[in-house]
Structure 1
Amino acid sequence: MARALDAVGERWALLVVRELLLGPKRFRDLSRSLPGMSQNVLSQRLRELEAAGVVRRRRLGPPASASVYELTEHGAELEAVVLALARWGSRRPVPPAGELSVDALVLALRTTFSAERAGALSARVALRLGDDAFLARVDSGEFSIGRGSSEADATLETDASTLRSLVFLGARLDDAAVTGDRAVAERFLGCFPRPST
């Protein structure tokens, strides 16, 4: 445990890992997803995580020609740890000014999914959250979600804050643009109970 904390125990380190679990990001995108973290601290954490073999920097080819940060295979093994911490933390009170990044919200869906609530639901639901697109699948009590879009039974188009309100705070579905099967969208939103303390 001490050796693990030497690699990822500094403040913000696991939040950087969380932001990379769903795929590579540019420095600018990481910084935007972690608004309470200064760019200097982000740079330092990325250097430390690179040195520990958790993160690597990669240059994208044309036409993007940009650098991105991504988890190494070793870093990706932290997913279970991050999800377990997220599950544990979900039972703690949310700070009044607390907002979730898009990736944090998507991971919150993974940690709070209830197979019992999903019942016999079998559906594909596309989530369009600003510039980010995700495809969620519910089938036989199993839940998966990843970046990208594909044909879906229902599509929810909104922002992260509104989706959080729809899923965890009981907001009405009228606050999001829904295409496809509205009943599927409503059932999907009911699959994520707020954990009790």
Structure 2
Amino acid sequence: MAARDYGQYDGITRALELVGERWALLIVRDLLVGPRRYGELAEGLPRIPSNILATRLKELQAAGILRRAPHSRVIVYELTPYGRELEPVVLALGTWGFKAMGDPRDEQVITPDAMTMALRTAFRPLVAADLPATAYAARLGPAQLLVRVDGANLDVTRGDGPADLTFAAGHAIRRLISGELAPDRAIATGVVQVLHGRGDLLDRFASTFHLAA
């Protein structure tokens, strides 16, 4: 039984009954990055009440969108094949929502899983296919990500590692990805700090990851 019944019979209505409740799609967003323990989901969604997280997980499990699975002697939540079909929907919503993003409010945070999905949303595989393989170590607020681009393939993982370019940026990385700020200006104004590697590789990053605002 859906948590909410709109009383209409069509695919969009049914989709909203399954994933339209508050927090549901953000749980799906984080699980698209990979399986997560309950505590990891709670950490990635710092404002979700614990009872709401537990309820949403039960609802999504009952709908066949996610499942509980043993992993290294702990229980994790992971998307089912049916749940993974939501990926293009989530990425399309990210593209659409990006157009309405302004500067963050003081209480809004950047999380590693959210930034991972943002990079997957902005990734342009057709552009990347013509560029040399490149690894970026990106420190985006508290999120530290290793971003590997090899042709049309993108791999984003948490943590550090060998990289051609290491850079730090805050929420204003949005201005680089949108094309509002050119890479050289982003460096000159301190929006992006090059920590290691050639600064001109930021041009390659901006070409590879782009969303028009």
Pick aligned residue for 1:91 from 88, 91, 99: 99
Q: How far does the alpha carbon of each residue in 1:92-145 deviate from its partner, in whole angstroms, 9 at most, with x for none?
A: 133631433212212212222346876842222143656854332152xx3523
Distance 1:186 1:53 in 2: 42
Q: Helix, strand or coil for the counterpart of 1:135?
A: strand
Kept after mapping to 1: 8 A contact 2:137/2:161: no
- Where structure 2 has 5 or more consecutive residues not aligned to the other structure, the ranges are 1-10
Residue in 1 that maps onto 2:43: 32
Kept after mapping to 1: 8 A contact 2:166/2:196: yes
State the Cα distance separating 1:72 from its structure 2 match: 1.1
Superposition misfits of 4+ residues, deviation over 6 angstroms: 148-151
**Number of matched pairs:** 191
- Where structure 1 has 5 or more consecutive residues not aligned to the other structure, the ranges are none
State the Cα distance separating 1:81 from its structure 2 match: 0.8
Once the two structures are aligned, what percentage of the paired residues are identical?
A: 35
Q: Is 1:58 equivalent to 2:73 in the alignment?
A: no
Aligned in 2, Cα 1:78/1:192: closer, same or farther, shift over 3 Å?
same
Residue in 2 that maps onto 1:172: 187
Q: CA RMSD in A?
A: 3.3
Kept after mapping to 2: 8 A contact 1:54/1:74: yes
Q: How far does the alpha carbon of each residue in 1:2-55 deviate from its partner, in whole angstroms, 9 at most, with x for none?
A: 222222121111110000111111222211211232121111111111111111
Distance 1:166 1:35 in 2: 27
Kept after mapping to 1: 8 A contact 2:110/2:143: no
Residue in 1 that maps onto 2:146: 134
Q: How far does the alpha carbon of each residue in 1:50-85 deviate from its partner, in whole angstroms, 9 at most, with x for none?
A: 111111122222xxx332211111111110111111
Distance 2:51 2:208 in 1: 39
TM-score (norm 1): 0.76
Kept after mapping to 2: 8 A contact 1:126/1:156: yes
Distance 1:8 1:31 in 2: 18
Distance 2:65 2:128 in 1: 35
Distance 2:71 2:128 in 1: 39
Distance 1:77 1:180 in 2: 38
